[in-house]
Amino acid sequence: MKYRIEKDTMGEIKVPAHRLWGAQTERSLRNFRIGTEKMPMALLHSFAHLKKACAMVNHDLGKLENRKKEYIIRACDEILTGKHDAEFPLLVWQTGSGTQTNMNCNEVIANLATALPGTDKLQVHPNDDVNMSQSSNDTFPTAMHISAVIEIEDKLFPALSTLRTTLADKSKQYKNIIKIGRTHLMDATPISFGQEISAWVAMLDSNRSQLEDTLEYVRALAIGGTAVGTGINAPPKFGERVAEKITFSTGKRFFSAQNKFRALTSHDALVTASGALKALAANLMKIANDVRWLASGPRCGIGEITIPANEPGSSMMPGKVNPTQAEALTMVACQVFGNDTSITFAASQGNFQLNVFKPVIIYNFLQSVKLLSDAMHSFNDNCAIGIEPKQQKMSENLANSLMLVTALTPHIGYENSAKIAKTAHSDKSSLREAAIKLNLVSGEEFDRLMIPKEMVFPKK
């Protein structure tokens, strides 16, 4: 392999000749050989949006010459196409401020800008030009927030909406199919299958609303705070101007954080948003569990619905089919719960003017967003779309339920109704037979009072 010599304040170091990164990136690669988790590309692309905006503002304020601004913009635009993703190899487990990733971006942008056609040997410096008016301490949290908003709005919300639409359609389609309800995993009063699914729809609506609320805090950007929040070496209103540029380039609304000291040392905005992701994961866990319980069987379980049979379920039991999409979704939920715990603890560790757990916070946050987005698409396309009720089984379970006796309670009282249920259970008879046997209601009265549809849709 051919190498070139790069220099930084620590001295000279050999860098692979074909790579766009520089000395500080190379030092990080050598010094932090920990795990395999790399900085998410969503974060690095957000850095490109940020560096582009900073170059524009520095030029507008007379600090950066026009040619350097133009070449930095062109370099950032190339990075945003994904063409240079391989130039960002750094691992999550590095300096807690993300300095080396900030410098990785600065170096790649500077070398790419310098190498672009037409530069006429113009030298773009990673610190003096690309990092002008900035510090890793304000750029990294800014990129964290940009990537969080973009990934939630562009990836997670569409996935959530797709699943929500599927379930809403099924709720309407099956609104008049009456089945037994269940509480404590035990028989309860009747419900329609559409009503049961409507709860899932309402959960997803609530989750979206919660996430939208939390994103309002994430839209605040730390840029302009520089090293400790004072804004040293950044011109006045730098943060406000950069936030405006980023809003324009991303199409997402951002604004400058009112208190930069908080923005550098506190990550409560991402903790709050992660909590909303965890709430979504909790609801998806419940939905997936309901689906696999209702589909259990096919002969010895509840078996009230069918779901798509996507692949063989056993290496030794022929013909077995398992609720694999539900299993994948619930595993994702478990991972999101764990990620939220890590984010919460890491965010609590801000000391004085800086939190130095930033890489692990954003890595786990973006992983939660991606996993939830992918899992909702997969669950929708490979399971939810194919959910169908087994109406005969639902009707059989409904007819066999002892909890229908609840309809008699207003007429004969709780204790007499309980006697009917207990007698039917011990005698293995129907509620009607037990009621007549106990002489508590006549057959005609029972038939008039025991109408499951009116229990599901009570008259107002």
153 CA to centre of own chain? 10
Catalytic member of 28, 97, 125, 184: 184
441 CA to centre of own chain? 55
d(CA 238, CA 133): 8
CB count in 10 Å sphere of residue 117: 6
Catalytic member of 161, 209, 314, 442: 314
CB count in 10 Å sphere of residue 186: 9
Torsion-angle region of 378 (φ positive above 0: left; ψ -120 to 50: alpha; else: beta)? alpha
d(CA 404, CA 431): 8
d(CA 18, CA 16): 6
| Beta strand segments in 145-184, E | 178-183
The question of whether 45 is a catalytic residue gets the answer: no
For residue 194, give both structure tokens: 């559409």
What is the DSSP pairing of strand 388-389 with strand 255-256?
Answer: unpaired
3-state secondary structure 72-104: HHHHHHHHHCCCCHHHCCCECCCCCCCHHHHHH
374 CA to centre of own chain? 9
Whole-angstrom CA distances from 99 to 2, 47, 92, 96, 224 are 27, 12, 11, 8, 16
For residue 179, give both structure tokens: 């089945």
The question of whether 267 is a catalytic residue gets the answer: no
d(CA 183, CA 175): 20
The number of C-alpha atoms within 13 Å of 139 and in the hemisphere containing its C-beta is 29
- Active-site positions read 184, 314
